[in-house]
Amino acid sequence: MRILVTGGAGFIGSALIRHIIRHSSHTVLNLDKQTYAGNLDSLASVADSPRYQFSQTDVCDAAALAAQLRLFQPALVIHLAAESHVDRSIDGPADFIHTNIVGTYTLLETCRPYWQGLDPERKAAFRFHHVSTDEVYGDLDGTSELFTETTSYSPSSPYSASKASSDHLVHAWQRTYGLPTLVSNCSNNYGPFHFPEKLIPHMILNALQGRPLPVYGASDQIRDWLYVEDHARTLLEVAVHGRVGETYNIGGHNEKRNLDVVRSICAILEELVPAKPAGVDRYADLIVFVEDRPGHDRRYAIDAGKMFWELGWRPQETFDSGLHKTVRWYLENTSWWQRVLNGTYRLDRIGNQA
């Protein structure tokens, strides 16, 4: 199968491409605009594969998208290209509106004539899988409920509102035009190659440098955590075996308070890196509480029952096993995150140009 992945140089996209190249015989075209969060270093292990291609392409560029579809002739499109950092969306929402909404619209409208022009057999097999987030559902604070595929949307941030908008566009293109789409909404991902602005890598790297570990507000925010490699294999499963027009919630069954996540990181570092930076007695002493972000949701939690009953999926990693793997990866791959922190990853990007 020929699979086109948008945003394939990002955290989840690169994990998906590594999974496809290592565990299948499929061919992948990675379309990525190469914003700050796109890091081709994350694909170095598969970049030389004859089944991997890369094109620096913006999902808002209809002409470039049409050319890539025409040349590559994919049977499957998995759409991950998105701006995804909540704090950045609060400070500057315009990029989120442009990429997440206009970009998804542009990709849908480019895929529609491509799909309509396929021969009957290939047209019947084509799929468009849109990858979204549990944040579109809003806040479960004060309840014991879980997000299901029928939970009403109630986004709180510019980021989640832009992703909710893109989900609605995908569903509308399936209902109105018959484009064979699927949507998946996942919980918080973590794991190797995660950009250092995100909670878990940010805390690991700050602790190693003896810097403060900032935790928002009362530190009682609860998230459902999913190891990124579990998510990657699931995305391919949904795209290939999911039912057209359906939504699938993907969660790790790991509800954790943000403060407890940070404390767990500190405990693992105590075990693996007992020699601390100067002036630090315990890593947990670096935890500081900072002013909460505006509109901060308190609790997310996913019911992934549909994934289990329909597709037989469940995560392979527990939160403890996944977090240990993640911390070890950052300890053993200092060159990757140092190149991110000093900006050199943006100066000499590598990849096979399509």
Could you list the active site residues? 134-135, 159
Q: For helices 11-23 and 228-241, what crossing angle results, to 10°?
A: 70
- The residue type found at 113 is P
4 alpha carbon, distance to own chain's centre: 16
Answer yes or no: are the C-beta atoms of 118 and 179 closer than 8 Å.
Answer: no
**Tally of CA atoms within 13 A in the half-sphere of 255 that contains its CB:** 16
Token reading at 344:
């050199």
Answer yes or no: are the C-beta atoms of 279 and 210 closer than 8 Å.
Answer: yes
Alpha helices in 254-333 (DSSP H): 258-272, 305-311, 319-332
Q: For helices 334-342 and 199-208, what crossing angle results, to 10°?
A: 100
Q: State the residue for tokens 């391919």.
A: 236
Q: 69: helix, coil or strand? A: helix
Answer yes or no: are the C-beta atoms of 61 and 106 closer than 8 Å.
Answer: yes
Q: For helices 258-272 and 319-332, what crossing angle results, to 10°?
A: 50
Q: State the residue for tokens 């029928």.
A: 150
N-terminal to C-terminal alpha carbon distance within the chain: 17
Q: Any residues with CB less than 8 A from the CB of 260 and at least 6 apart, and which?
A: none
Q: Give the closest residue to 325 by CA, choosing from 200, 184, 156.
A: 200
Q: 152: helix, coil or strand? A: coil
Q: Which residues pair with 299 in a beta bridge?
A: 222
Q: Give the closest residue to 83 by CA, choosing from 29, 134, 130, 35.
A: 35
Q: Any residues with CB less than 8 A from the CB of 206 and at least 6 apart, and which?
A: 212, 213, 286
